[in-house]
Amino acid sequence: MSPRPGFVLEVDKSTPPTLFWHGEGFRLERLPTGSRVLYAPEPLDPLTDPVGAIRHALLHPLGDAEPLSALLRPGMRLTIAFDDVSLPLPPMRRPDARQLVIEQVLDFAAEAGVDDVVLICALALHRRMTEAELRHAVGDRVYDAFEPQGLLQQHDAEDPDNLIHLGLTDHGEDVEINKRAATSDLLVYININLVPMDGGHKSVATGLASYRSLRHHHNARTMQQSRSFMDQHRSELHTSNWRMGRLIADSGVKVFQIETTLNTDTFPPQMRFLERREWEWSAKDRAAYVATSAALARTPDRLARQVLHSVRSPYRLTSVQAGEVEAVHAQTTENVYKQQLVAVEGQTDILTLGLPYICPYNVNSIMNPILVACLGLGYFFNMYKGRPLVREGGVVIMSHPTPWAFHPGHHPSYIDFFEQVLSETTDPTEVGKYEEAYATDPWYVHLYRTGNAYHGVHPFYMWYWCAHALEHLGGVIIVGGDRAAVKRLGFTPASTMADALEMASDIVGRDPSLTHLHSPPLLMSDVS
């Protein structure tokens, strides 16, 4: 039986309560009759022979590219860059897609007699990965072969000796990227394209860039003009990255792009109820829900976090594309849409979201309030094509505990951003006046380079990610969140969904339309 496409349910009196993620827990909410619930398409059938598919892609590249084997020769400098810990979510079961692709690329390199090979994790301004995380991503064999010799590196956007300024785009944007990558004879970039935003020229132009370069598109103005940043052709974020990517290519950097897509088989069997539609829950699903909810509710927050962050997703590869960047990405985007796109008729007054425990920036960490905002208003709000799911002036209601809690090792500058910047203004444009100070703060730079901290400027990016939503919406309400933290974000706290709906009616009027994005599993709405 082929997987079912996404589905838009209209709630009626017989509809069971709808499952909402609520951080490290869940809530069952009974939505008003007439509400719509958007369910993700069921997981596409995976590649039956992923290793063979990868090999095929490398030998049959897309666009104006030669097969990988033809690009490799003895004596050349080969750099293999790959996506960091922010992808996929949750982390996938071993073997990770990156491992599968890297092993193939290394096999080709070995066959061609290439000795000078360096692997670089394309962190951009994200935190450095731990040994365990790297081992998980690239596999033990690759890790043990490269890391001890210093050949498995993590991009350091603050290392002046290993950055190279390639020039300015015709829009005056600095293009400064990793020197090793830029000066290699071939740069192979390996992506996991979990959402349509990922990949394309953004891989190198962002993943291997410095702050000097990133600031040109990671800002409030760009994000307000990216409608949405999940829709490449209407995204100023991507337009800027494409300009940079073309300049990188024109500078002589030869990029061989590899992109992979995953299905939506997001949770392991014991949590499979999260992927099912509530009215189709079996007795086993209901029992699993009750047991999981009760166990998480009785578990201290820290332990519950550990348990959930140890979840490994059974994601499977659905496609592999390799070759020239733009040709590869066009095909990849189609494949992501094939898995995630759900057609939706018309916008809604109120969009409800149940936010889970994880987002790209808190893997093995705490989902702090800034990340809560970013996940809801940055990622989920922007998971649309065409028009936003919620109308202009509408309301987003998010469900998350939003604790006033931060991981001091991972998010040190977030603490200061929350205490200092957001206490003064929550306007994404206005917060920019602090950006330079945070970006150049020597303490944050030190922690980014030597510890496992996100770069000092990163919380600004998270806030910029919300810029389009904040400009578009009439209100944001968080259900069940820490009231002080929610207020600091500039949002409205509500104790219950009923309270939130009552509050929302002050903005959107009585009898509003409501749509719930039942995600994850990830889905992208195509709003007509």
Partner 1 sequence: MKGLLVERSLPRFAAARLFSSIGGSGTSTSVGPLRLTDLEAPDLPGPGWHRVQPLLAGICGSDLATLDGHSSRYFEGIVSFPFVPGHEVVGVVDEGSAGGLPAGTRVVVEPVLGCIPRGIDPPCAACADGRVGGCERVAFGHIAPGLQIGFCADTGGGWSHAGLVAHGVQLHPVPDALSDDDAVMVEPTACAVHAALAAGVEPGDTVAVLGGGTVGLTTTAALRQLASPGALLVGAKYPHQRQLAGELGADLAVTPAQLARAVRRRSRSLTISGQLSGGADIVVDCVGSADSVAQSLEMVRPRGRVVLVGMPGKMNIDLASLWHREVSLAGAYAYGSERTGRSVRRTFDIAMEVVAAARLGRLVSARYPLERFEEAVAHAGAAGRRGAVKVVFEMHPRSRKGLTS
Rounded Cα–Cα distance for residues 100 and 10 (Å): 41
Residue 138, token pair as written in the block: 């690239």
Smallest distance, Å, CB 223 to partner 1?
25
Segment lying near partner 1 (by CB under 8 A), choices 110-118, 134-142, 170-178, 434-442:
434-442
Q: Which residue, 113 or 409, is less far from partner 1 as judged by CB? A: 409
Using the rule CB under 8 A, is 156 a contact of partner 1?
Answer: no
Nearer to partner 1, 419 or 506 (CB): 419
Q: Closest separation between CB of residue 440 and partner 1, Å?
A: 8
Burial 213-228 (b: 16+ CB within 10 A, else e): bbbbbbbbebbbbbbb
Task: Compute the least distance from the CB of residue 441 to partner 1, in Å.
Answer: 6
Q: Answer whether the bond into residue 90 is a cis peptide, omega within 30°.
A: yes
Q: How many residues does the chain have?
A: 528
Question: Which residue has tokens 């069971």?
Answer: 16
Give the span between the Cα atoms of 172 and 213, in whole angstroms. 10
Q: Hey, which residues between 394 and 423 contact partner 1 (CB under 8 A)?
A: 415-416, 419-420
Min CB(456)–partner 1 separation in Å: 10
CB of residue 437 to partner 1, shortest distance in Å: 7
Which are the contacts of 223, defined by CB distance < 8 A and separation ≥ 6?
A: 229, 236, 237, 428, 464, 465, 466, 467, 468
Instruction: Find the shortest distance in angstroms from Cβ 470 to partner 1.
Output: 25
Which tokens sit at 31?
Answer: 């939505």
Q: How far is the CB of 448 from partner 1 (least distance, A)?
A: 13
Tell me which DSSP letter residue 510 carries. S
Query: Which residue lies nearer to partner 1 by CB, 343 or 415?
Result: 415
Q: Among 75, 148, 160, 442, which residue interacts with partner 1 (rule: CB under 8 A)?
A: 442
Query: Is 33 or 423 the residue whose CB approaches partner 1 more closely?
Result: 423
Strands (E), 324-446: 341-344, 348-354, 384-386, 390-399
Number of residues this chain uses to bind partner 1 (CB under 8 A): 9
Structure-token pair, residue 316 = 């499977």
Stretch that binds partner 1, among 32-40, 79-87, 139-147, 442-450 (CB under 8 A): 442-450
Q: Which of 443, 451, 495, 502 binds partner 1 (CB under 8 A)?
A: 443
Interface residue with partner 1 among 446, 449, 483, 487 (CB under 8 A) is 446
> Is 259 near partner 1 (CB under 8 A)?
no
* Cβ–Cβ under 8 Å, residues 20 and 496: no
Q: Kindly tell me which of 282 and 423 has the beta carbon lying closer to partner 1.
A: 423
Alpha carbon distance 138, 235 (integer Å): 31
C-alpha–C-alpha distance, residues 283 and 289, integer Å = 10
Contact 487, 501 (CB under 8 A): no
Under the binding rule (CB under 8 A), the answer on residue 430 touching partner 1 is no
Kindly write out the interface string for residues 362-401 of this chain, putting x where it contacts partner 1 by CB under 8 A and - elsewhere. ----------------------------------------
Q: Applying CB under 8 A, does 69 fall inside the site for partner 1?
A: no
| Nearest distance from C-beta of residue 499 to partner 1, angstroms | 24
Give strand ranges (E) for 155-304: 163-168, 174-178, 186-192, 255-262
Q: Which of 441, 466, 492, 518 binds partner 1 (CB under 8 A)?
A: 441
In order of 39, 103, 178, the CA distances from 329 in angstroms are 26, 22, 22
Binding flag, residue 437, partner 1 (CB under 8 A): yes
CB of 416 to partner 1, least distance (A): 6
Kindly list the strands in the beta sheet with 384-386, ordered across the sheet, starting from the edge strand earlier in the chain: 341-344, 524-527, 384-386
In angstroms, give the least distance from the CB of 126 to partner 1: 21
- Residue 251 or 450 having the CB closest to partner 1: 450
24 binds partner 1 (CB under 8 A): no
- For every residue of 57-103, which 3-state class applies, written as one string? HHHCCECCCCCHHHHCCCCCEEEEEECCCCCCCCCECCCCHHHHHHH
Where does this chain bind partner 1 (CB under 8 A)? 415-416, 419-420, 437, 441-443, 446
